[in-house]
Amino acid sequence: MEVQETKTLKQYSNKQKILLVGEGDFSFSLSLGRAFGSASNITTSSLDSRVDVNRKYTYGKQNVEELERLGGTVIHGVNVHSMSSDNRLARYNRIVFNFPHSGLGFGSEHESFYIMQHQALVRGFFESARKMLEDEDGEIHLTHKTTRPFSEWEIETLAQEKGLRLIGLMVFDQLAFPGYSNKKGSGNDLFCVFAHTNDSSKVYKELPFAVETSYSCRQIVRCSAVPRHHTVSLAVTRWTVDNRFLVGATYQWDRLVYDAVIDHDNTTVAFVKGLNLRPGKVADVSRYECVYGWDLAKPKLLLRSQVISAAQEIVRCETPLTVLKGPRVAQSPAVKVSVRIKGSGMLPSVAHPINHPVRVKDLTYGEGKHFETCVCTMTRNTANVLREWVMYHAGIGVSRWFIYDNNSDDDIVSAVKNLKNCGYNVSRHFWPWIKTQEAGFANCAIRAKRDCEWVAFIDVDEFFYIPSGQTLTQVIKKCTTPSSSSSSKIGEIRTSCHSFGPSGLKDPPRRGVMASYTCRMSQPERHKSIVRPETLNTTLINVVHHFQLKEGFTFVDVEKDAMIINHYKYQVWDIFKEKFKRRVATYVADWQDKENVGSKDRTPGLGTRPVEPSDWAERFCEVRDNGLKDWVLENFVDRKTQRLVWEEERNIMVGEVVAQMGLC
């Protein structure tokens, strides 16, 4: 009889009978199956149906199918409170629940109501899991954060209530499980309800993609696309379908005024889909007018105003005095703004122009502000690298960060909160609008104008490298020192980018990107910009991270030996393939679309499917470059622990641990 070789991954082995519950995209289960070479000892489950997994997670279907090919058992619709009586399940000697969350109160975990909901979830899990242990040596593993407010869940106390004892604690190292990505669950209290317009008996419900609160205090529920001949409404699970919410009209995303803000000069900046304007070009404003109203369906009550500029997806309007003063009655509905295309009618709108709390009538060049150097980015699902990016740039002089979150479903809310708790001035701005990076950057430029002297627009995989050891602020001052040979003032600083490849790596690096990726292309690609926000052209036109400037202002190029951006563009495949999900820029085709396949934006040699080339780890390697790596190891290593400071923060301060429970 052939004896099976023992294979392990951290605390798990192929000799254990493992049950995983609460899986999202099944990436954790798959990491175990791949490590063992087989998943025959693994039963993995989710509360979501198979259809919901396929719909909600880009790689959910792919991961489940690979698990099943490896011999794993995948079961859907498993409720951790009642799983002990689920006849599809058996008894196990390891039962694992990673990062339990009730799905309620994302971003409000500190509130006692939500803490009680999370405790109820864990309490019910312990009660069911205890009955499913195969013998007295069986263990229940629960992975959880230990910082506040998560420490207030009192996991050990909940376990003791159910006859369990704590066997031990260990630090959870996500990088030890290649491919694993923690996914947030949706709360079970809210559903999208779809009803057929001609047959009231045809009603079905789905979990929403996400529920968020915008900066204007509106709650945004993202449902899947509405089928033809259906309407959509919302329901709370404790209510019946007959008592569902009634929602307003639905709109086509390709023809909509989706957001608006009142700038510091009291003009309204509206962000619009449906004008179909060319990138980088100014449109004829005589074709448009702005329309304001508390009910845009009532023509007699509308206010109309002149359009000042129109370019890309950005329309700037004169704001009527009535709108600036606000409603006379506090309970009045918020005013909406729309754009009328003369001869074609008014665009639908969900945009309420948000008034800044502090009005600044005249921001002048060189005026002192709170922060000398700020950074703005738009990102999706980068919680695991945000700490390195923020802490490094803080070390070279950045003092304020604006994170525009474009529908992340990872743990970015907690990542931002932890950074704020550590003293970093980081703010997350929920920006749900798909493929609107240019509009988001324009919105950020307006937001940062009051407080920031200079704002850099870079991605989370881009890092300024200054070989001299100067701060970013010092480099900026040197670049903008007035020259007697030029009458123009500097409003933009352009920095070239070096694109780094996988550098021979196949698994996500443990020490972060700067200390790990050291091989790059020989020639720099493109540039990214640092701008003085009040010098931007009123159109706010921006393409590939740089803006057009007002007349009288110009840009300067930074010498490459003075400052360069290390762009860790081509990382290990498990990380890089995320680019195939969706690009955030308006005028860049998604890689899965067969459009502009030869564009420089696309990766050479890849088609339209996320299929890993056999030589991926060795690609894009023309020059070995250890410059930033060496500088980081010299300046960002904790001498006591020998860890890079973001490693220490991630593993100790965030405090993700696996609590191992056994029978008393």
pLDDT digits (tens, 9 = 90+) for 36-49: 999 999 999 999 88
- The average pLDDT across 547-567 equals 94
Of 108-122, 336-350, 513-527, 551-565, minimum mean pLDDT range? 108-122
**pLDDT of 362 strictly over 60:** no
Residue 646 lies in a domain: no
Answer yes or no: do 64 and 151 share one domain: yes
pLDDT value, residue 331: 45
Q: What's the total number of domains in the chain? A: 5
Question: Can you tell me the distance from the alpha carbon of 408 to that of 195, in angstroms, rounded to the nearest whole number?
Answer: 28
pLDDT value, residue 651: 36
pLDDT value, residue 376: 97
Please identify, among 290, 313, 346, the residue that sits at the C-terminal boundary of a domain. 346
Answer yes or no: do 463 and 515 share one domain: yes
Residue 2 lies in a domain: no
Query: How many C-beta atoms surround the C-beta of residue 300 within 10 A?
Result: 5
Cα four-point dihedral sign 384, 389, 390, 394: positive
Answer yes or no: do 200 and 161 share one domain: no
What CA–CA distances, in Å, run from 462 to 256, 391, 434, 499, 556? 32, 13, 22, 9, 20
Answer yes or no: do 598 and 563 share one domain: no
Strand partners, 656: 145
Q: In this structure, which long-range contacts are made by residues 560-564, counting pairs with CB atoms below 8 Å and at least 24 apart in sequence?
A: 560/496, 560/524, 561/467, 562/466, 562/467, 562/468, 562/475, 562/478, 563/464, 563/465, 563/466, 563/472, 563/475, 563/495, 564/464, 564/465, 564/495, 564/496, 564/497, 564/498, 564/524
Answer yes or no: do 565 and 582 share one domain: no
What CA–CA distances, in Å, run from 480 to 17, 363, 454, 520, 558? 65, 18, 11, 30, 10
Report residue 239's pLDDT band, with 50, 70 and 90 as the boundaries. very low
Report residue 289's pLDDT band, with 50, 70 and 90 as the boundaries. very high
Question: Can you tell me the distance from the alpha carbon of 310 to that of 317, in angstroms, rounded to the nearest whole number?
Answer: 9
**Tell me, what CATH number does 495's domain have?**
3.90.550
Of 246-260, 269-283, 320-334, minimum mean pLDDT range? 320-334
**For residue range 417-454, what is the model confidence (pLDDT) as tens digits?**
889 989 999 999 988 888 888 999 999 999 999 899 99
**pLDDT of 398 strictly over 80:** yes
- Tell whether pTM > 0.85: no
- The average pLDDT across 73-100 equals 93
pLDDT value, residue 563: 97
Helices (H), 594-652: 627-635, 645-648
Question: Can you tell me the distance from the alpha carbon of 420 to that of 169, in angstroms, rounded to the nearest whole number?
Answer: 26
Answer yes or no: do 450 and 513 share one domain: yes
Report residue 214's pLDDT band, with 50, 70 and 90 as the boundaries. low
Answer yes or no: do 17 and 96 share one domain: yes
Among residues 415, 483, 523, the alpha carbon closest in space to that of 184 is found at 415
Report residue 582's pLDDT band, with 50, 70 and 90 as the boundaries. low
Torsion of CA 43, 49, 53, 56, to 10 degrees: -150
Query: How many C-beta atoms surround the C-beta of residue 5 within 10 A?
Result: 9
- How would DSSP label each residue in 135-155? STT-EEEEEEE-STTGGGG-H
**Tell me, what CATH number does 41's domain have?**
3.40.50.150
Residue 133 lies in a domain: yes
Residue 356 lies in a domain: no
pLDDT value, residue 115: 85
Answer yes or no: do 492 and 510 share one domain: yes
Residue 636 lies in a domain: no
Answer yes or no: do 276 and 221 share one domain: no
Q: What are phi and psi of 220, to 5 degrees?
A: -115, 120
**pLDDT of 648 strictly over 60:** no
Residue 65 lies in a domain: yes
**pLDDT of 495 strictly over 60:** yes
**pLDDT of 583 strictly over 70:** no
Answer yes or no: do 453 and 553 share one domain: yes
Question: Can you tell me the distance from the alpha carbon of 391 to that of 424, in angstroms, rounded to the nearest whole number?
Answer: 8
Q: Can you state the angle between helices 27-36 and 60-69, rounded to 10 degrees?
A: 30
Answer yes or no: do 174 and 91 share one domain: yes
pLDDT value, residue 595: 58
Residue 549 lies in a domain: yes
pLDDT value, residue 526: 84
pLDDT value, residue 26: 94
Does residue 306 contact residue 290 with C-beta atoms inside 8 Å?
yes
- The average pLDDT across 297-324 equals 93
Residue 352 lies in a domain: no
Answer yes or no: do 486 and 565 share one domain: yes
Q: Where are the beta strands (DSSP E) in 475-537?
A: 489-499, 519-520, 525-531
Rg (C-alpha) for the chain, rounded Å, is: 27
pLDDT value, residue 419: 94
Q: Is 227 left (phi over 0), alpha (psi -120 to 50) or beta?
A: beta
Among residues 243, 662, 635, the alpha carbon closest in space to that of 468 is found at 635
Please identify, among 329, 346, 363, the residue that sits at the C-terminal boundary of a domain. 346
Extract the tokens encoding 641: 């622990």
Domain limits for position 456:
371-570+620-624
Extract the tokens encoding 229: 């001949």
Instruction: Please name the helix (run of DSSP H) or strand (run of DSSP E) that holds residue 19, with its range, or none.
Output: strand 18-21
pLDDT value, residue 333: 66
